[in-house]
Structure 1
Amino acid sequence: AGIPDSGTGHAIGYANQAKVPYGRPFVKYTPTWPRSFMPQDQRVRDLVARMKLIPIRELIEGKRLLFCEDSIVRGTQLQDIIRRVFDYGAEEVHMRPACPPLIFGCKYLNFSRSRSELDLAGRRSVHELEGGEPENLAKYSDADSEVYAAMVEGIRARLGLTSLRYQRMDDLIAAIGLPREKVCTFCWDGTEE
């Protein structure tokens, strides 16, 4: 399933590739609500997110669910969604974001509205592992490293997921279909090209 609407396309693709059924365990109600990650106040973001997604118990209870999402920025709304899905009786909740973990704040678009890079789920996990800012933050973008695995495990535990696996950078670049030097990867690996 996708987290509506940002994860829907990714979930349909994942289901088709994995040959598993696609489900939609949430009804999305949006006539009067803005983008839920945009308000500055976390309480308003949480309220908007909660009011927009209405769980369908029959599609959740007793199920092992795998959700896709475009990204995990802060993770606060996702944490609430996961808690709600477990409250509705899900046996397991797995997450597959369509991009690598966000470690660096976007310096070009400011899409996250974060006041601090520690608002980013990836950066917060690194900070907790290191007990502060590491000297080499870029090492956490290597999906084959032990520190990357520890960072992802920290995010998974904070969110309360059964499992969490991010899209690898090389797979993301291949899916986009452009040469790597034509794709901005700053928020994932800190590289400016």
Structure 2
Amino acid sequence: MSFKDSSFHGLNEECGVIGVINVPNANYYLYLGLHALQHRGQEASGMVTIDNNMVNIVKRKGSIVNSFSKEDMESLKGNIGLGHVRYSTFGGKSTINIQPFVFTLHHTQYVTCHNGNIVNASTLKKKLEKRGSIFFSFSDSELLGHLINTSKKLTTIDKIDESLKELVGAFSFIVIENNKIYGCRDKWGLRPLVLGKLKDGYILASETVALDAVGANFIRDVEPGEIIEISNDGNISSKYYTPPKQCKNNMCAMEYIYFARPDTILEGKNVHEKRVQTGRELAKEHPLNADIVIGVPDSSLSAALGYSQYSKIPYDIGLVKNKYIGRSFIAPSQEERERIVMMKLNPNKHVLENKRVILVDDSIVRGTTMKSIVKLIHDAGAKEIHIRIASPEIKWPCFYGVDTSRRAELALYAQSKDEYLRNLKYATSLEFISLNGLQKSLDRWTKNGNLCTACFSGKYPSKLHDCENEVNNENK
């Protein structure tokens, strides 16, 4: 979230975080973990390590592989550290916004990184500035450091506990202080955070794929509302900043649908298997006769496979992805998104020509990608193009860390499904999975929570605070 714009039309982030402790050559583990999390953001990367109280920092624009040099890696000495990958919207590309952030508070150094979005950020910033805080970035991720600084509690875990009570929204924070590492998750459980064991140390990360990349054993998810403290000697303790009975397990639906890597385990569920099940449910709800089923690489392939399995219509590779182009939804500006779509996909004409095609995609957000893809398939000679979407219609903005904070930007907000279909020009039909079908596919009917489906339903798990005007103004 950007502090520059009180209407929150600026910086929103979907990021990846990682932290390791008591690991020789922590930089190596951070690098491998961030590479595994690169799908969560390609615009910038940062790493911080600590060696004998010396803080080493490297922050670079671009992907981890392309931006970190051998010299950068050699400078990151120590056995404890944090890493972060991010993307931003307009106005947020400055290097001052690249995490992790380092704070020196009362002669104590804190390092923090964050995935999510704080919906009462502007209010808290004004409050903290009145107390004397000086902000050096435009990111809401900086808030926790200043809240810790103003806390009167004696221990770090109690300072963090008191600080998190001030925050409303989605967050998974990792904090380092005095050879200890802390993992914190919001009480709604909107963003993921997992704990793993290395030979003599521990790792915290956004997804289990980061654990796999460094050879760590998965221990468990950090629970909603929980703060985990890990010391250098391996002692682990935890507390909740909100009583556990008041915490909810409202994981963001888009983590399952789009953001997480298919081989990630979210809350004990394999993402690929759940996407396959979503495709099967989509075929059950919206059947039709066709020649082939294809998916939009990469996040839609599992759902396309599921659609094929249930419908008995052959699955094929109709679109080939240029793997050296980033994800269009995560590209910072609309112009860049449109340019990337045309560069990153090539139609397989041999597969598509004279075929009735079922095109499965994970979601329609701004509609930029779909319009371009439909034209590519049409120009390759497809007879019919039937679009099937493995998520409900996205009609509401997200304020919890997904780059859709303006409702007017959403393709299906200002126009009906039929109007959107007509604007696609070459598409034959368009259908979406129902909300009930999505929840059924993901096994997300529980006593203590459900999926966060605010972008589909407009029902937000928390109060929106500083973001309320965006919803209210769009409804007028």
TM-score by length of 2: 0.34
Q: Deviations over 1:105-161 (max 9, x none)?
A: 11112234x6x3111111021xxxxxxxxxxxxxxxxxxxxxxxxx21112112232
State the identity %.
33
Paired position in structure 2 for 1:99: 391
Offset of residue 14 of structure 1: 0.3
Residue 377 of structure 2: SS of its match in structure 1? helix
Which of 386, 402, 413 does residue 123 from structure 1 map onto? 413
User: Are residue 156 (structure 1) and residue 431 (structure 2) matched?
Assistant: no
* 1:36 and 1:49 in contact (8 A); partners too: yes
Instruction: Return the structure number with greater relative CO, CA threshold 8 A, min gap 6.
Output: 1
Segments of structure 2 that go 5 or more residues without pairing to the other structure are 1-293, 462-476
C-alpha displacement of 1:86: 0.8
How far residue 43 of structure 1 moved from its aligned partner, in angstroms, is: 2.5
- Contact 1:75 1:159 (8 Å CA) reproduced: no
For 2:460 and 2:328, how far apart are their aligned partners in 1? 29
- Work out which of the residue numbers 150, 171, 179 in structure 1 matches 2:445: 179
CA offset at residue 40 of structure 1?
A: 2.9
After TM superposition, list the pairs within 5 Å mapping 1:64-143 onto structure 2: 64-112=356-404, 116-125=406-415
What is the CA-CA distance between 1:192 and the residue it aligns to?
Answer: 2.2
Cα distance in 1 between the residues matched to 2:313 and 2:435: 24
Query: For residue 147 of structure 1, what is the aligned residue in structure 2?
Result: none
TM-score scaled by length of structure 1: 0.80
| 2:456 corresponds to 1:188 | yes
User: In angstroms, what is the RMSD of aligned CA positions?
Assistant: 1.5
Q: Tell me, which stretches of 5 or more residues in structure 1 are unaligned?
A: 126-150
Greater Cα radius of gyration, structure 1 or 2: 2
Mapped partners of 1:186, 1:77: distance in 2 = 22
* Structure with the largest fraction of helix: 1
Give, in angstroms, the shift of residue 58 of structure 1. 0.9
Give SS of 2:412's match.
helix
SS in 2 for 1:121: coil
The structure 2 residue matched to 1:28, chosen from 321, 344, 356, is 321
